[in-house]
A and B are shown apart, each in its own frame.
Chain A
Amino acid sequence: MSELIAGRIGEIVEATTAAFTARCHELYVAPALGTLVRAGDNNPVLGIVAEVRTQSLDPSRRPIAMGVDEETEEAVYEHNPQLNRLLSTEFQAIVVGYESESGLKRHLSPFPPRIHSFVYECGRDRLREFSSSYEFLPSLLNSPIGPQDELIAAFLRYSSLTQEDAQAYLVGAGKALAPLLIGQIQRLNNILIRLIS
């Protein structure tokens, strides 16, 4: 994998308007849970990584244990180079917005990204711009993929690092979440705990 195309982390293999799945170009080189990613070149769609999984390329063949005689985990991969071809890492992202000629939108794109679109990790500036408004919170709360509460906490933790006052940003996010979680005080409590831990 060349270093030329900086930030490119994968390629879309499945896409709907609400979510897409991308296969990573390298085994285990996936964006972290809660990362803001961009897919496509025209009107790129923005997504937040909601689940990362590594599995056998052939769903009918489960990997078998291979490290019985090996000293370290690295040695397993060293002595079995075919593993990099038999296993693959994928991630799923939920769509939270898109970029259009008129600017950044924080709602679903009218069309899903195309298959084989490249997926890039968004830079700090884009992340700050996107997260400067809490409008994305409802889509994360209702994410069809992955543990939503963990996802929200992970994304807010990342995005807070791009803001001038991280603590104030998190308090603001908490306050924006509170009305969305009326009647679910314990869930709110759990998310809040994850925000600061």
Chain B
Amino acid sequence: MTGRLGMVVAGSLTEGVQIRLDVGISTETIKVGTFVSIQGGKFRFFGQVTGVALEAADMSLRGVPPDVSNPFIEQVISGTTAFGMITVEPMLVIADSDDPAAVLDGPQPAKTIPPHFAQVSIATENDIEIVFGEEDEEHFYIGTPLDMETRLALNIPELVTRSNGVFGKSGTGKTFLARLLLIGILQKSNAVNLVFDMHGEYGWKGSSEGTGREVKGLKQLFSSRVAVFTLDEESSRRRGLAPDYVVRIGYQEIEPEDIQILRETLSLSDVAADAVYSLHRHFGRNWLQDFLSHKGREGVRDLADSIGVNSTALSSLHNRLSRLERLPFIEGSGHDSLNQILRYLERGMHVVLEFGRYGNDLASYILVANLLTRRIHERYMQMSEQASDDPSRQPRPLVITIEEAHKFLTPSVADQTIFGTIAREDRKYNVTLMVVDQRPSGIDEEVMSQLGTKITCLLDSERDVDSVLTGRSGSRKLRDVLSRLESKQQALAFGHALPMPVVIRTRNYGSLESYKELGFRDDADSLSDITQARDDLFGPP
């Protein structure tokens, strides 16, 4: 649908402007979230439909409606005495002049509203490009605005300067969206991804929840730029994938802080959790292995006596931690996993760490993700500080993707985990997060408010909606938009990387065509490339 919708008849900056729909424009054709442009006298405003209402010029219409059994009468009354009204939130404004300087400045946040009777139309392709930018070496096509075919592109370098969030209840397509963002980061910025892939959705292949169909992961599409690491080699091999590296964690690498973050997951009491520090003081670096080697109740009690810790607490700690012994990827003393990851990242390779069957064990996920991230962050801090005089030596920006964050970024532990720190400190050390989660209300409010760009699919619970919109001006109107998203392939995107909030229909992912559009070359393409190269070298046969 294109063309004129109506004209401004009332409104305010706080409540948005009221637009009376033209005769012949039915409210049925306009959806909340639709992107519109308003032509003022000197400026053009861009905004989003935040409300749709039925109005009547004659108040008695409600009580004594006309005889609409007659189509003629209905035809006359519709759009005249009874008409549609939409509310539009003007968000951006651009000078409407031939002065190239004014146009070059681009759209600015709207600090006023268009005058009475300003004409309102559905935004055009050109409008979308003015506001969001064209698809180019920095802008990644992420989807189309509601009811439009125009490609909406996201400024990826801008996106990765801050931590971001992808939200949505399960089955709404947030994994697809996250996968697209990862590809965007891979293609359109110099940042690298480190993905803690809980359910094996990003590395080699993923699955589509609706159809159960398999879709290609990052490695299949960009094999030369993506490395798949795994914690569970067996699972990778079973799926016919040769991982680039099998990650092992040494006992000595586990520090008391790594256990603190597991406090809730392992149901540790405060006393038990604090006892970890006593153990660390007592045993030194190899505290965990030494502690777990104390077998039997007697052994633990003696240890408790000697380090001055409550023996019941220590005994329960022993019980809980002994499950770590059963995790095959924790073994021995020293491993090179961390350095391997860093080496890959430094080379500009994107690393997906698959958890295999340990993805279902939250403790494993939290432990490994936290442990690795903490050390990577430390290393990045050192590198950034060393390079403080010479910006060109700054480490390559790193985006760490985590899932199920509501389980370990809860308000009670957020300030203790490295993820909380990264979210708060922003881009200081070139490390940012991409949080993929279905229950944002479980995530610490401070962390949520630090997320620069949020892309959210449909959310069910009021609390989740509140939490996603926290700190966002005009959140009441966005809430209406958010709660009316379709349950598939639709998302509301807003924040740092976008000049204004927008509802998008996520671009397709999963068909050969969609892969090719992302730059994937299948065997036939490769063969023709080789033939072409051969012909170029030696001349046609």
Q: Interface on A for B, CB 8 Å cutoff?
A: 167, 170-171, 174-175, 177-179, 182-186, 188-189, 192-193, 195-196
Using Cβ atoms and an 8 Å threshold, which residues of chain A touch B59? 183
Q: A171-B72, A174-B76, A195-B72 given; name 14 further pairs at CB < 8 Å.
A: A167-B72, A170-B72, A171-B75, A174-B77, A175-B80, A177-B76, A182-B57, A184-B58, A185-B66, A186-B64, A188-B76, A188-B77, A189-B73, A196-B70
Q: List 19 A-B contacts (CB under 8 A).
A: A170-B72, A174-B73, A174-B76, A174-B80, A177-B76, A178-B57, A179-B80, A179-B81, A182-B81, A183-B58, A185-B64, A188-B66, A188-B77, A189-B66, A189-B73, A192-B70, A192-B73, A196-B70, A196-B72
CA A178 – CA B76 in complex, angstroms?
8
Known: A171-B72, A174-B72. A185 touches B60 (CB 8 A): yes
Cβ contacts B61-75/A at 8 Å (1 or 0 each): 100101100101101
Cβ contacts B202-237/A at 8 Å (1 or 0 each): 000000000000000000000000000000000000
CB of B6 within 8 Å of the partner chain: no
Q: Which single residue of chain A is at the shortest CB-CB distance from B76? A: A174
CA A196 – CA B81 in complex, angstroms?
19
> Is B77 a contact of A178 with CB atoms below 8 Å?
yes
> Is A193 a contact of B67 with CB atoms below 8 Å?
yes
Using Cβ atoms and an 8 Å threshold, which residues of chain B touch A167? 72
Whole-angstrom distance between the Cβ of B66 and the nearest chain A Cβ: 5
Known: A171-B76, A182-B58. A193 touches B81 (CB 8 A): no
CA A185 – CA B67 in complex, angstroms?
10
CA A195 – CA B60 in complex, angstroms?
22
Query: SS class of chain B's interface: helix, strand, loop or mixed?
Result: loop
CB of B79 within 8 Å of the partner chain: yes
CB of B376 within 8 Å of the partner chain: no
CB of B23 within 8 Å of the partner chain: yes
Whole-angstrom distance between the Cβ of B6 and the nearest chain A Cβ: 15
Q: Which single residue of chain B is at the shortest CB-CB distance from A189? A: B66
CA A115 – CA B73 in complex, angstroms?
42
Known: A192-B73, A193-B70, A196-B70. A185 touches B61 (CB 8 A): yes
Using Cβ atoms and an 8 Å threshold, which residues of chain B touch A171? 72, 75-76
CA A170 – CA B70 in complex, angstroms?
14
CA A177 – CA B77 in complex, angstroms?
10
> Is B73 a contact of A175 with CB atoms below 8 Å?
no
Known: A185-B64, A185-B66, A185-B81. A179 touches B72 (CB 8 A): no
CA A104 – CA B82 in complex, angstroms?
34
CA A185 – CA B59 in complex, angstroms?
9
Whole-angstrom distance between the Cβ of B79 and the nearest chain A Cβ: 7
Q: Which single residue of chain B is at the shortest CB-CB distance from A192? A: B73
Q: Which 9 A-B residue pairings sit nearest by Cβ, starting from the closest?
A: A174-B76, A178-B80, A189-B66, A178-B81, A185-B58, A192-B73, A175-B80, A182-B57, A171-B75
CA A195 – CA B79 in complex, angstroms?
19
Whole-angstrom distance between the Cβ of B396 and the nearest chain A Cβ: 64
> Is A183 a contact of B70 with CB atoms below 8 Å?
no
Using Cβ atoms and an 8 Å threshold, which residues of chain B touch A175? 23, 76, 79-80
> Is B70 a contact of A174 with CB atoms below 8 Å?
no
Select one of B60, B64, B73 contacting A193, CB under 8 A.
B73
CA A165 – CA B58 in complex, angstroms?
29
Q: Which single residue of chain A is at the shortest CB-CB distance from B62? A: A185
Whole-angstrom distance between the Cβ of B59 and the nearest chain A Cβ: 8
Using Cβ atoms and an 8 Å threshold, which residues of chain B touch A177? 76
Using Cβ atoms and an 8 Å threshold, which residues of chain A touch B23? 175
Q: Which single residue of chain A is at the shortest CB-CB distance from B23? A: A175
- Residue among A171, A177, A185 with max Cβ neighbours from chain B (10 Å): A185
Select one of B57, B70, B75 contacting A179, CB under 8 A.
B57
Q: Which single residue of chain A is at the shortest CB-CB distance from B79? A: A175
Using Cβ atoms and an 8 Å threshold, which residues of chain B touch A192? 66, 70, 72-73, 76
CA A92 – CA B58 in complex, angstroms?
33
CA A177 – CA B75 in complex, angstroms?
13
Using Cβ atoms and an 8 Å threshold, which residues of chain B touch A193? 67, 70, 73
Using Cβ atoms and an 8 Å threshold, which residues of chain B touch A184? 58
Q: Which single residue of chain B is at the shortest CB-CB distance from A197? A: B70
Q: Which single residue of chain A is at the shortest CB-CB distance from B65? A: A185
Using Cβ atoms and an 8 Å threshold, which residues of chain A touch B80? 174-175, 178-179
Using Cβ atoms and an 8 Å threshold, which residues of chain B touch A186? 60, 64
CA A188 – CA B70 in complex, angstroms?
14
* B residues 25-77 touching A (CB-CB < 8 Å): 57-61, 64, 66-67, 70, 72-73, 75-77
Whole-angstrom distance between the Cβ of A158 and the nearest chain B Cβ: 17
- Residue among A175, A179, A196 with max Cβ neighbours from chain B (10 Å): A175
Q: Which single residue of chain B is at the shortest CB-CB distance from A177? A: B76
Using Cβ atoms and an 8 Å threshold, which residues of chain B touch A170? 72
> Is A188 a contact of B81 with CB atoms below 8 Å?
yes
CA A132 – CA B81 in complex, angstroms?
22
> Is B60 a contact of A183 with CB atoms below 8 Å?
yes
CA A188 – CA B76 in complex, angstroms?
10
Using Cβ atoms and an 8 Å threshold, which residues of chain B touch A185? 58, 60-61, 64, 66, 81
Q: Which single residue of chain B is at the shortest CB-CB distance from A178? A: B80
Using Cβ atoms and an 8 Å threshold, which residues of chain A touch B73? 174, 189, 192-193
Whole-angstrom distance between the Cβ of B7 and the nearest chain A Cβ: 15
Whole-angstrom distance between the Cβ of B85 and the nearest chain A Cβ: 16
CA A182 – CA B58 in complex, angstroms?
5
CA A177 – CA B80 in complex, angstroms?
9
CA A196 – CA B60 in complex, angstroms?
23
